[in-house]
Amino acid sequence: MPQSPATPLPSPKERRRLREAKSLSHADLAAKIGVTRETVRSWETGRTNPRGRKRETYAKLLDANANGNAGPEERRRSAEEAKTTFAKTVTKDAKPPTPTNTPAPTPTPTTHRHPVRTKPTPGGKSTSRPQPAAKRAAKPRTPAPLASAAPAANGHIRPLPVRVTRPETARHPDLTPAQAFDALCARCAPGLVRQTYLLTGRRGLAHESVERAFQLAWQRWPEVAIDRDPAGWVRAAAYEYAMSPWHRFRPSQRHPDAPPAQPADRAFLDVLLSLPPAQRRTLMLYDGIGLDLPETAAETEASTPATANRLLHAREAIAERLPDLADPEALHLRLAEVGKAEKLRLPKADRVRTGSEYRARFWTRAAIAFTALIIGATALTLRNAPTHYEPPQAPGRAISGVPPRMGPGPLTYEDTTLREKLRAELPNGQERLIPQAK
């Protein structure tokens, strides 16, 4: 029996925009569908897709949000996008062959990074505000050039080119998992070490965070290899470990590292580390790496308005202390320069794989030993436990009619007189043993 085609869904970014347009949180939407909020978050990031009845319910809620907030033109465009997505889903396995005499068009990387408007303030500072969702949806999306980003004539930031990284196994099917992992580590490790150093200001912690992230990626390589963005997966793991608040209790982290040699780099790093961790991470993802606002919000697990506010406050704090970096493009270049100036250790792919396997064996053996200990303690308890019920002994009761036993007590007058008489008449020594005649 042929299966019915799946219900078409909008893109992950459109799903997030529709939810935020109705002022719904992940928990509210998850309660309506009957899933957890982590599941809704994974749907909006594109890592997973709903199936079955949950997919139909999710599509109906998104369609209701779209029809309730969009105008006639936006409804028509949403319907056309849904039809196009549905057609691609149905015909993805039946693509027409490309003629050999016609060269295939070269795909141009596109980006959906929303421009951030920068308007001058009376004090000379520049504040940026994200465009509203309605204007952003009505504005046509055009592919961004591959050239480096530069400020436009109207003061907006041109979107940086964002390349979606595909897993190495999909590019080169003949590569082994170890070779694909080594290629990913060699390509992403240098940039991640520099980024984690800017987030923490510690060289050792930056190396440790990236190495731990790649170890976790090798342990879950079947999951990471088919992910749409393996570099983003490793980056999120490295950021989470590097910015964990528990590092402050480690003895090795009590003393700060040596500052950079250049005074300008030292001043910029001090300003960057003075920002709250959430603002620091948002600034690094948006201005340092070049992610757009929805992707930054998804990676930091925050809403798009909250991410925009964090970005604005971080830029204002940096522009207040370093006026030369008031321009976002100058800030982007400065983040890249400071990271490259430091000599940081890079994790080696073969050592990462070996350490990951050793760590997995260690924790597996520890779990087996702990389980065996619990089983042994349970068996010993069952062996020594009583097999029948023994009623407790009843408390004692007083018996009437029997005089109580007298214990030692004070002497009476007669006993005292007798004791004095005996002590006086009977001498000490041998005379006491000689009988006397009467």
pLDDT of residue 272: 92
Interatomic CA distance for residues 115 and 129, integer angstroms: 9
pLDDT of residue 98: 41
Distance CA 401, CA 238 (A): 87
Residue 253 burial by Cβ neighbours in a 10 Å radius (0-12, 13-18, 19+): middle
Q: What is the identity of the amino acid at 72?
A: P
CA 92, chain centre distance (Å) = 34
Per the CB < 8 A criterion, the answer to whether 282 and 307 are in contact is: yes
Helix (H, G, I), strand (E, B) or coil at 23: coil
Which residue in 273, 139, 274 sits closest to 205, CA to CA? 273
Cβ-based neighbours of 71, under 8 Å, separated by 6 or more: none
Which two tokens mark 18?
């529709």
Residues pairing with 157 in the sheet: 151
Contact 332, 289 (CB under 8 A): no
Stated length of the chain: 438
- Which of these, 90, 79, 83, lies nearest to 3 by C-alpha position? 90
Instruction: Name the DSSP class of 119.
Output: E
pLDDT (tens, 9 = 90+) of the chain, 438 residues, equals: 344 456 788 888 888 888 888 888 888 888 888 888 878 887 888 777 888 888 888 888 888 876 665 555 555 665 565 455 444 443 444 344 444 444 444 444 444 444 444 444 444 444 444 444 444 444 444 433 333 333 333 333 334 443 334 444 445 567 898 999 999 999 999 999 999 999 998 989 999 999 999 999 999 999 898 888 899 999 999 999 999 988 888 888 888 888 888 888 889 999 999 999 999 999 999 998 988 888 898 888 888 899 999 999 999 999 999 999 888 888 988 888 887 777 788 888 888 889 989 988 999 999 999 999 999 999 999 999 888 888 888 888 877 776 666 667 788 898 889 888 887 776 666 666 666 666
Q: Pick from 253, 265, 275: which is nearest to 199 by CA?
A: 275
Query: Rounded to an integer, what distance in angstroms lies between the CA atom of residue 326 and that of residue 320?
Result: 8
Give CA 184 to chain center in angstroms: 21
pLDDT recorded at residue 74: 56
**Confidence (pTM):** 0.54
Q: Give which of 185, 168, 167, 160 is closest to 235, Cα–Cα.
A: 185
CATH architecture of 12-90: Orthogonal Bundle (1.10)
3 state SS of 202 = coil
Residues of the chain with CATH 1.10.260: 12-90
Q: Which residues lie closer than 8 Å to 184 by C-beta, 6 or more apart?
A: 167, 168, 217, 230, 231, 234
Residue 27, pLDDT score? 85
Amino acid making up residue 198: L
